[in-house]
Amino acid sequence: MVDLNDKKLQNMSEIFTPYKLGPIELRNRTIRSAAFEGMGKNNAPTEELFNYHRAVARGGIGMTTVAYAAVCQSGISFDSQLWMREEIVPELKRLTDAVHAEGAKASIQLGHCGNMTHRRTCGQTPMGAVNGFNLYSPTFYRKMKQEDIDFVVKSYGDAVRLAMKAGFDAVEIHAGHGYLISQFLSPYTNHRHDRYGGSLDNRMNFMRECIREVVKAADGKIAVTTKLNTRDGFKGGQEVDELIEVAKELRKLGVDAITLSGGFVSRAPMYVMRGEFPTKAIAHYMPKSFWWLKIGLHLGAWAVCPTETFRHLFFLEDALKFKAAMPDYPFIYVGGVTTGEDARKVLENGFPFFQMGRAVLEDPDFVNKLKADENHCSGCTHSNFCVGRMYTLSAQCHKRCQDITPALEREVHRIEARNDRRERKAGYIK
């Protein structure tokens, strides 16, 4: 006999109940996070991108998020990223129509990479909050002038209007991970002495202008969410206390929900993704013309991108601090949700939605399987092979990748074994 008072069963059924997000309603509490797919070409959608998001929608997700789309050309960091412009709207509309036909909602993440690009990619000298040098490209980048700021701010509004035309139900504005808005927010990357630098209030001005433009363009017709760091993940970056104040400001600006993440891809990339940096996979798939970067990866990746041990719900401790400061606000949880138990714990702690990336890359049908079995566990082993591949080709789980070599397979298994030892040592698994 089923005990209807069993809290575990109640929480499981709660996962699969509808819930409102701003002006829209999702069929359940699950969201595919804006984990970069690497499935674009010439900054436009491809059939692979279409098929993947349709599969995730068919797999039971409440809403799937198409990853990073630059609001203007200067915000592109890879050819495989989207760039929001009129000519790609028909293909995006085909994608959202397919997602809707499967019963899910569709969101798109909008952003600007700031200094994390190269002239060859973005069509101009890269720009950021200040002047500097991007070691990864490598290239110099310049400080944004007022006219640059004004153009990018306007571009956010234009991108939202294009997203609405393409049939998206929501937009997620990327204000974390060391992208442009984050570069203005963080004292690590913002040393300006004008109205955009100095105090936290000043450092929020660029974000304010972008979000006001976004909210105005959305006009209450689609949901507006923001991805925000809980902390930058390294000494000298933003910490929890400051970012809680940023979250409060985003609420005042009219953002419907905030996804709480963390890390800086140019400074602490594994704080974002967790696990071991996939050096050999990145080097293997990188073009031969990048030989100098391949050498640099093998010599220095261990120092620049140190391992951050994966654990279940790795952002929960910090996310709860935001929840305590704003108890009636609908924060979206992301980070290490791979089992039914993880999902239940997130809801128990008052988060109405949770996002997943690698769990639905490893298996687009993950949510349906979770609904059928409350104890279902993702088969992702966090080798980060998918991360290593997405910078050159598309994100693929090693279990389904057709072009993985025997050497890379062996490396994946070695990383899986090291991850297992780290998790056991840290007490995350028995």
pLDDT, one tens digit per residue, over 98-111 is 999 999 999 999 99
Chain segment 353-375, per-residue pLDDT in tens: 999 999 999 999 999 999 999 89
Does residue 7 carry a pLDDT above 60?
no
What is the spatial order of strands in the sheet that 127-128 belongs to?
Answer: 127-128, 139-143, 132-134
179 is known as an active-site residue: yes
Structure tokens at 197: 């630098």
| Mean residue pLDDT across the chain | 93
Question: What distance in Å separates the CA atoms of residue 349 and residue 330, rounded to the nearest whole number?
Answer: 12
CA distances from 278 to 286, 342, 348, 414 (A): 12, 25, 34, 11
Residue 1 pLDDT level (bands cut at 50, 70, 90): very low
The answer to whether residue 9 scores a pLDDT higher than 60 is no
- pLDDT single digits (tens) 179-200: 999 999 999 999 999 999 999 9
Identified catalytic residue from 141, 179, 196, 333? 179
Summarize the confidence of residues 419-428 as an average pLDDT: 77
pLDDT at 57 over 70: yes
Sign of CA dihedral 182, 356, 412, 400: negative
User: Mean pLDDT across the stretch 250-270?
Assistant: 95
- Spatial contact of 170 and 225, defined as CB atoms under 8 Å apart: yes
pLDDT of residue 198: 98
**pLDDT digits 0-9 by tens, 62-114:** 999 999 999 999 999 999 999 999 999 999 999 999 999 999 999 999 999 99
The answer to whether residues 218 and 163 touch, using CB atoms and an 8 Å cutoff, is no
Is the predicted pLDDT of residue 4 greater than 50, yes or no?
no
pLDDT average, residue stretch 126-147? 93
What contacts 69, CB < 8 A, 6 or more positions away? Answer: 81, 82, 83, 84, 108, 109, 110, 111, 159
Question: Which is higher by pLDDT, 410 or 290?
Answer: 410
Q: What is the pTM of this model?
A: 0.94
Predicted pLDDT of residue 90: 98
